[in-house]
A = this chain, B = another copy of it.
Amino acid sequence: MRAFWAQGYGGTSVADLVAATGINRGSLYSGFTDKRTLFLTALRHYDRVQREEFLARLARENPPREAILAAFAAAARSPDDTPPGCLLVNTALEVSPHDAEVRAVVNEALAGVEGFFADRLEALETGTGTRATVQALLGLFLGLRVLTRAGAPQSTREAVSAQVAEMLG
């Protein structure tokens, strides 16, 4: 998963996967049919662990407003033990246009993020305009992941987070 995360689908060779997993070529192909299937498995694993479970934990351990801010703070950061950016966003741009099954996984994940924001906002009960605010949060979130992956200066990324704090009142 890390390999795909760091180098993309096309940029990761089967040799890279053998090196990264320690599993041998033949075993890789007997366990997963081919590279594409392995990628789909990795993508679904990432979606579950890095998106679904991560957001669920944020929602459980924080009040609504802070949960949203924590999600943005995490997206702005670029930890040393993890490749920069988000595998789902990278995949949305690289593979989604050419592969319907991948596109379905990615769009479902994006809908999940959207739902996370919608649920938190609903709990805030800020009145009307919530639907538009959800879209804005999703857009800002994806944009932030692009900036992080592109290596934009930390100040730019923090400014996006700050703008979210302001938007939430």
Contacts and interface: CB of A to CB of B under 8 A. Distances in A.
Contact of A166 (B129, B138, B151, B152): B129
A72 to B, nearest CB: 10
A93 B98 CA distance: 17
A159 B140 contact: no
A71 B114 CA distance: 23
A151 B146 CA distance: 17
A94 B94 contact: yes
B132 A139 contact: no
A93 B110 CA distance: 17
Interface of A: prevailing SS: helix
B147 A142 contact: yes
Contacts of A139: 139-140, 143-144, 147, 160, 163
Interface in A136-169: 136, 138-144, 146-147, 149-152, 156, 159-160, 162-163, 166-167
A82 B57 CA distance: 41
A51 interface: no
A85 interface: yes
Contact of A146 (B92, B135, B166): B92
A163 B135 contact: yes
Contact of A150 (B106, B114, B132, B136): B106
A147 B111 CA distance: 11
Interface string A9-34: 01100000000000000000000000
